[in-house]
Structure 1
């Protein structure tokens, strides 16, 4: 028997409210941390100094992304954080795994979305975002192992996260600026754990997807003369997208 229309509409409404409630928090995280390395976190409008925070979220932390005092654009372009969050919620609803693994995936996404915007803006992945993402994902996957298949997937997830982070860190030590950054290595802790839960093949697939996306975008930017051969693209966004692509391939 088909589900009644009213409960379906209520469920869609609840998901929409969840997106609207989380969007200001994610946008604030981007505004706070999209600053050059070594600079203090941003607390107000760059143009007029008006404070920005969850106590006064509109319009600076809304889709308009404008300072409430002077009207200057603040943070990412209007609507982009909200669109990314809506896409993430939709992907979780359609493809999300059951139980605590779903919670681990949602936790990771809640940190990964701001990280994409911060890395794209200032080419840095702050510890205040990467480390909670990794720690929460690891702990929730541990709970998933206790509640379901046992410790084996969690042990593999732990090993995968550690291995991927060490691989990225090693390229930094050996190749310097030509390798991946240490921020990428810290982001890889959560990425590796999430993909490693599903197996080593999933981890390899996520990394391959990320490298392919980075290569395609790099070639396109070179062809458009937007970057040169010496330019270094931020890899964090591609690592997040590659992870999502691998999860989508696994769960469909």
Structure 2
């Protein structure tokens, strides 16, 4: 009897390879977290805070690996051990399971390459640096525009543009109206790329992503209050929840 499993098509095999290519970015993502996880107003981190060992991909730097430790003093640098690796693997698996079209896959991979370090930076220092949010938005828009020119048409691209701008304006408005109680300007910049990627798939998808993000952040905040690990005045970073909500919505539509 023949093998009952369907043979993998060349297109599917190409999608697997493109998604697995995301894993090669792990050292770059770790470096981005280590460099940008600094307090607002500070310069990017270029050396170990404890022993002044340079941070860079051109040098042996164990902090870029799962151990996340400085090669000079052994101190912890950047994101916690193995977390960036696990997040990147989870993103690659999601892309493998979803199997969007080639251009959509590249756009999603570009977005993920920036939002993964943004997630860890926001958790560490409650900021979303422009050096990561702006390239995420510009690249996502250009790649979706390429998908429109390649045959998807103008309608999904115009919808993506409208939802990206609309979501960003919503976050910015809460900052202007509510101050520290609203979302941050960094969240608005992250919303440019996130809203565009979600809007490509329909008007309801950004709404679903935002609802998932708000629900998840509310559950976590309630859990922290019940466990007395946070106060009502505490400010939780919203960037990670926006990313997770967007991923949840994308997995539902892919």
TM-score range, shorter chain: over 0.9
In structure 2, relative to structure 1, the CA distance for the partners of 1:15 and 1:83 (3 Å cut) is: farther
Structure 1 alignment gaps of length 5 or more: none
Return closer, same or farther for 1:88/1:222 CA change in 2, 3 Å cut-off.
Answer: same
Partner of 1:157: 160
Q: CA deviation at 1:96?
A: 3.4
Residue matched to 1:203: 206
How many residue pairs match? The answer is 248
Q: Which residue, out of 113, 117, 122, partners 1:114?
A: 117
Task: Give the drift of 1:20.
Answer: 4.9
Separation in structure 2 between the aligned mates of residue 13 and residue 155 of structure 1, nearest angstrom = 29
- 3-state DSSP of counterpart to 1:56: coil
How large is the Cα RMSD of the aligned pairs? 2.1
Runs of 5+ in structure 2 lacking a partner? none
Change (3 A) 1:136 1:19: closer
CA spacing shift, 1:11–1:196, aligned 2, 3 Å: closer
* 2:150 alignment counterpart: 147
CA contact (8 A) 1:24 1:57 kept: no
2:138 corresponds to which residue? 135
More divergent stretch after superposition (171-180 vs 90-99): 90-99
In the alignment, structure 1 residue 51 sits paired with structure 2 residue 54: yes
CA distance in 1, matches of 2:249, 2:30: 26
Tell me the residue number matched to 1:102: 105
CA distance in 1, matches of 2:250, 2:15: 23
Structure 1 residue 91 corresponds to structure 2 residue 94: yes
Distance change (3 Å), C-alpha of 1:13 and 1:164: closer
Please list, as runs of the form range in 1=range in 2, the aligned pairs for 1:49-88 lying within 5 A after superposition.
49-88=52-91
Provide the TM-score with structure 1 as the length reference. Answer: 0.93
Task: List structure 1 runs of 4+ shifted beyond 2 angstroms.
Answer: 1-5, 10-21
- Contact persistence 1:19–1:82 (CA under 8 A): no
Deviations 1:123-142 (A, max 9, x none): 00001000100110001000
